[in-house]
Every structure is written in C-alpha cells, then in structure tokens.
Structure 1
Amino acid sequence: MTEQNMAASLKGRNFLTLLDFSTGEIKYLLDQAAKLKKAQKEGEGPLLLKGKSLGMIFENASTRTRVSFEVGMTQLGGHALFLSPRDLQIGRGEPIMDTAQVLSRYVDAIMIRTNSHETVEELAKYSTVPVINALTDYYHPCQALADMQTIYEQKGTFEGLKLTYIGDGNNVAHSLVIACAKLGIDVSVATPVGYEMNQSIISRAKEVAVSTGSTIVETNAPVEAITDADIVYTDVWASMGFEAEQVNREKAFSNFQVNGELVKHAKPDYMFLHCLPAHRGEEVTTDVIDSKHSFIYDEAENRLHAQKAVLAALV
C-alpha cells in the first residue's frame, strides 16, 4: 500500500487499541512520528492541523499525557481543550452518548483518559469524530507506540529483538505485548502469581504473533523472562486506582524488582524503559533507571511525536 493510500485508510479512524491496526499501519505511524520529530528539531514542524481542535477528557491526573497532547496540537497548528469531570456534565451523570454527540459538533477529535475501557468504546460508538484512547484499565496504546519509536531509534530494527516486561500485568503490559506481536518482537512477561495479564487480550495478541513470527511467553519467574533480553521494561507495582493495595502489592512484587543483579541476565547492551512515573527503590533501583542503559526520557519525549503522528493521521 502506498503512503497516500495508507494515509487515506487511517483518516477518520478511532485509536482505541493497537489490535485494531495492521502491522503496516503501525509502521506507517512510526515513520510519520520519526519525520515529525525530525522536522520539529529542525524548526520546520508542519502545521498539519491548522484550525483543528482536540477535546481532551481527563478522569485521571496526568503529566505526560496532558502536556504531550496539548503541545502536540499546538505544534501541528491546532488547539487543545483540557476537560476534567468538573468541567463536563459527565461528572453530573450526563450519558456518554450525549457527551459524544455534542462534543463531535465542536471539536475535530476527542482524546480521553479514563478508568473503564467500556467508556472509551461507548464514546467512540456515538462520536462522529475520531476518539483516541489515552489510557484505560485495559489498554495504553499511545504509550506503546512511543515505546516502539524509542526502541527503533536505539536498535535500528525490530527484527530479532526480545523485550522483557517485569511487573504488574496491567494496561501497559497489554499494549506492549500487542505492539510487539504486531511488529514481530519476541516478548516475555514475568508477573507475580495472581497479577497476570488479561487472558482474552493476550489470546488475541498470540493470534497476531502467529503471522508475524513473534513469540509471547508468560511466566512467574523474572530471571527466566529477562535472560538475553534486548529491552527491559517495568511499571509501578500499584497503578492508578490500586493505591489501596500498595502494602499487599509490595509483598507480592518483592522478587520482581528490576535491579543491578537481575539485569545481569539481559544482554550487555540492553535498554531500559519505564512509562513513568517511577518509584525508585521500589519496582526499579536507581543504578538501573539512571544508568547509561536507560532511555526513559527519550521514551517520554516520544509520546509527543508518536501522538502527533496519530492526530495527523486520524484528523
């Protein structure tokens, strides 16, 4: 498919999960992200969304998501509106159906960061403009796209790579596994017993992996997972919404800390990633996250460029 045809196929689509996109479409978005990043660095960022507006619905607090989407729209020549539950009638019980149809008359796309993936699906069902999932309980596709961009920048390929994720089988883990499956990266996930990934989601990722040659391994043994890894990834043990489980999770995850001893089992040139915010001394030690192997700030920056690619493609 030509670049022009690829662009046409993406226009007007929703961005809810990477499962909805082909390998070719994901590679196209990554290519566009790289081009937009280069152009911005050279002071030649194209105003692709001049006169366009993005409505940003936030049910949860955010640093990277809010700033990257808002700045991204500005760099593309558009405008972003921050909308908290206090600003919307959703917070007082207005149906998602009404909110979706009204906002669609005002803005050119809707980004939402919310607790329930069902909320995003309902919003997309009734919206007549593209809806972008900026995080739900099941998926975090924008983060995974930025992760893939960072990996390609450092490794120059996706072929022959192994990514290891150690920690909670959460939304970040789900989207990482899907992205790896789509791009042919082998992925190994180590979680404590009782904190595994959602099996219906991972089953779909495994179906994708069959066609791309990716392998997906699930284990409860961190050393087994990290052996010969090219990329090591972790996330906080108690994600947003699970703060009340902090003490119990600290006990369950005590053997799943990414530290200097564990990364000895990875390849010597491994790269470390973390979606942030990070709790140093908890899920990862400072000698790993602040080492030469860490690319967490490149990864955070790439949220901006990857999301600009998504916005430009959909809108």
Structure 2
Amino acid sequence: MTTGTARVPDPVRRPLLSLATLTPDELAAVVTAAHHYGTDPDRWTDRLAGARVAFIFTAPAPSARSSFWSAATRLGCHTMHFGASGLQAAARETWVDTGMRLAPYVDAAVVRTNGPQTELEALASELPATINAATHREHPTKAIADACALLDHFGRTTALRLAYLGEAGNTARSLAHLVTGTPEMRLDVYCPKGYGFPPEELEALNGRRTDGDPIRQFDELPRRPDPVDAVYAARWQSRGLPHDDPGREEHFAPFHVNRETMASFSGDTAAVLLHDLPAVPGGQVESDVLRGPLSLADRQAYHEASAAAAALQWVLPAPAPVG
C-alpha cells in the first residue's frame, strides 16, 4: 500500500486542426464553452495555469495573435512566440523536425501559417497538442466565433439558415463544417463559377448528414434567393495569398452586399450580416450595412478570444481534482 499525495492524471491532449474531426456533441460542447467564456471571461481565470503554449505565426495576423494571447494569459498559460524568421523552417528545416525540436518544451501550440494544411499536419504530428489558427484550407476558430455571434443574436445555432457570398476558401470551409455538424443548420453558398467548392468536396460535406443536403451551391445570385437568417459577406480573396486572375473583381462584383441584397435574403424577419473581417472598403459589403444595426461583425470580432479560449481548453483540458 502506497502513501502520500495522489498523482493527478495528465490531461488528455488532442489537436484542433479542423472542425470536421469533431462529433456533433463535441462541436456543440466547444461552441458552448466559447460562448460561456464570452459571457463571463473572469470565471475562466487560471483554468489552465502553468500550461506552456507556443505561438507559431508565420503570417501576419494581429487580430488572431491578440485574441489567442488574451485568452491564453487569462487562462494562466505561459506563452512563447515564434515568427517566420525565428523558426528553423526558414532555413529549410522540415515542419516535422520543427515539431520534434519544440515538443519537449511546450504543452500546446497555436499555429497560423496561411499555407497548406499538410504543413500544419506535419508540425502537429510531433507536438503534444496543436490548434489551427488558420491555414489556407481551414480556419476553425473563426467558425466557432461565428457560432457565438449567432448565439448572441438568435439564442441558438440549430435550425438556422445561412447564405455565404464570396470565395469558398478557409472561412467557407470551416463554416461548412460548423453547419454539417450542427443539427438542422443549412448553408447556401454563392460563388462565381470556379471559385466554389469542387463537386467532390461538396458531396463529401453533405455526406456528413443524413437529413438531406445541408449545403447548396450556386454560381450566380438570383433576384429573389431563398430567405435566410444571416448573410455572410466574405473576402473575395484568401488573406495574404496572391492571385493571377486580372478579372477577379469583375467576377465577384455581382456578389457585393448592400441594403438591397440584405432585403432580398430576408424573409419574415430581417436577415443579419456576418463578415470575416477585415473588410475592404467598397469591396464585399457596403459600409452602411457592415456598420448597421443588423451587423454581427463586431460580435464576431469580440468572440475571437472566446473561440481561442475554448480551443485552448479543448486541446488542454484541466485535470480533474483528486480527492
């Protein structure tokens, strides 16, 4: 028989690279946790006290970096920060090797590359736990923040219908995973031809649900689209990525959101606006709509820290106390 203080079991560590890896119950738990944080952040103080979190940001992202730092410090984490020039990857070290070098010193990493998902997966394969703070392919914490803004306004995320206008990039893909993982939620995607989800990806997304196809895709905007609860005006180009299409703005111009667009999508009640900030003046959405009374953009921005806190607690849940 042994004596002394009982050992507290190590917390389960798990990555959060994509919302597609979460079951509907797990997704609901993460969104609920994020919303609880946004409602009363002080109650989360020091929940992860002493956890060592590396911030690896190889692309500029002041908003994401600030929101994760705010959440991590409130949770009591120790943070260290790496930019592109501070990594051996800049000297052609592989992402696997970078992960191996960091693994002994961190409990989790928050990583933003704006690059291929495969780079993040290679790094995460060697780290104890990794959060995707954005790759070119996915942006899971953005979708969690979107869900929190919808919860603020509607009191629910289930049975909401959304319309997304813009390129089907990382914001749209993570939003689609949120939709397919949330009961009765629906999404209509409106993109110029060639800028939407490939048919095989759309089929795979819809295959996650058994109640019909939750996601529909259109390559033009009709005069009277099916009504929705929220219109998501998205950037016409993934952040930080160059393009070689000189007619790009012309292709996207019909998907510009103004008061008439919002009215056309409104049913019995006025549709609200979502936006994956920052907005380009005169681009995706008129400023009077973006800053109008039905815009949830500020709440989305506010809940970036909420999503960051929930993601950190998901990958590094606090150990249960031992009696």
Q: Same fold (TM over 0.5)?
A: yes
Over residues 109-139 of structure 1, what are the superposed CA-to-partner deviations in whole Å (9 max), with x where a residue is unaligned?
0111111101011112222x11111111111
Over residues 132-173 of structure 1, what are the superposed CA-to-partner deviations in whole Å (9 max), with x where a residue is unaligned?
111111111110111111112211122331100001111111
Over residues 23-43 of structure 1, what are the superposed CA-to-partner deviations in whole Å (9 max), with x where a residue is unaligned?
100111112112222332xx4
Q: Distance in 1 between matches of 2:29 and 2:107?
A: 22
Q: Distance in 2 between matches of 1:226 and 1:99?
A: 48
Aligned identity (percent) is 27
**Residues 151, 224 of structure 1: CA spacing in aligned structure 2 closer, same or farther, 3 A cutoff?**
farther
Which residue does the alignment assign to 2:297?
A: 296
**TM-fit CA distance, 1:243:** 3.7
Which residue does the alignment assign to 2:186?
A: 186
Q: Distance in 2 between matches of 1:26 and 1:271?
A: 23
> Is the radius of gyration larger for structure 1 or structure 2?
2
**Residues 307, 200 of structure 1: CA spacing in aligned structure 2 closer, same or farther, 3 A cutoff?**
farther
**TM-fit CA distance, 1:193:** 0.8
Which residue does the alignment assign to 2:141?
A: 142
**TM-fit CA distance, 1:223:** 3.2
Q: Distance in 2 between matches of 1:215 and 1:311?
A: 29
Q: Distance in 1 between matches of 2:77 and 2:101?
A: 20
**TM-fit CA distance, 1:287:** 1.9
Q: Distance in 2 between matches of 1:225 and 1:163?
A: 15
2:130 and 2:315 in contact (8 A); partners too: no
Which residue does the alignment assign to 2:168?
A: 169
Structure number with the higher helix fraction is 1
Determine helix, strand or coil for the equivalent of 1:81: strand
What 5-or-longer segments of structure 2 have no aligned partner?
1-8, 317-323
Q: Distance in 1 between matches of 2:200 and 2:144?
A: 21
Which residue does the alignment assign to 2:54?
A: 55
Q: Distance in 1 between matches of 2:174 and 2:314?
A: 20
Q: Distance in 1 between matches of 2:121 and 2:164?
A: 27
**TM-fit CA distance, 1:227:** 2.9
1:188 and 1:226 in contact (8 A); partners too: no
**Residues 66, 198 of structure 1: CA spacing in aligned structure 2 closer, same or farther, 3 A cutoff?**
farther
After TM superposition, the score normalised by the length of structure 1 is 0.90
After TM superposition, the score normalised by the length of structure 2 is 0.88
Amino acid across the alignment from 1:19: A
Which residue does the alignment assign to 1:229?
A: 228
Q: Distance in 2 between matches of 1:141 and 1:33?
A: 13
Over residues 52-108 of structure 1, what are the superposed CA-to-partner deviations in whole Å (9 max), with x where a residue is unaligned?
121111121102210011111001011222211101111111111111112111111
2:170 and 2:238 in contact (8 A); partners too: no
2:34 and 2:144 in contact (8 A); partners too: no
Which residue does the alignment assign to 2:98?
A: 99
Determine helix, strand or coil for the equivalent of 2:85: coil
* Structure possessing the higher relative contact order (Cα contacts under 8 Å, 6 or more residues apart): 2
Q: Distance in 1 between matches of 2:110 and 2:224?
A: 34
2:57 and 2:112 in contact (8 A); partners too: yes
**Residues 53, 201 of structure 1: CA spacing in aligned structure 2 closer, same or farther, 3 A cutoff?**
farther
Question: Mapping of 1:82-93 within 5 angstroms?
Answer: 82-93=81-92
Q: Distance in 2 between matches of 1:172 and 1:63?
A: 17
Over residues 167-219 of structure 1, what are the superposed CA-to-partner deviations in whole Å (9 max), with x where a residue is unaligned?
111111111111011103110000001111244443332111325x6621100
What 5-or-longer segments of structure 1 have no aligned partner?
1-7
Which residue does the alignment assign to 1:273?
A: 274
Amino acid across the alignment from 1:300: A
Which residue does the alignment assign to 2:308?
A: 307
Which residue does the alignment assign to 2:207?
A: 207
Q: Distance in 2 between matches of 1:193 and 1:176?
A: 20
2:34 and 2:306 in contact (8 A); partners too: yes
Aligned residue pair count = 303
2:163 and 2:230 in contact (8 A); partners too: yes
- The answer to whether structure 1 residue 261 and structure 2 residue 260 are counterparts is yes
**Residues 106, 303 of structure 1: CA spacing in aligned structure 2 closer, same or farther, 3 A cutoff?**
same
1:144 and 1:176 in contact (8 A); partners too: yes
Which residue does the alignment assign to 2:126?
A: 126
Over residues 281-306 of structure 1, what are the superposed CA-to-partner deviations in whole Å (9 max), with x where a residue is unaligned?
11111121111110111101111012
Determine helix, strand or coil for the equivalent of 1:291: coil
Determine helix, strand or coil for the equivalent of 2:146: helix
Q: Distance in 1 between matches of 2:32 and 2:158?
A: 16
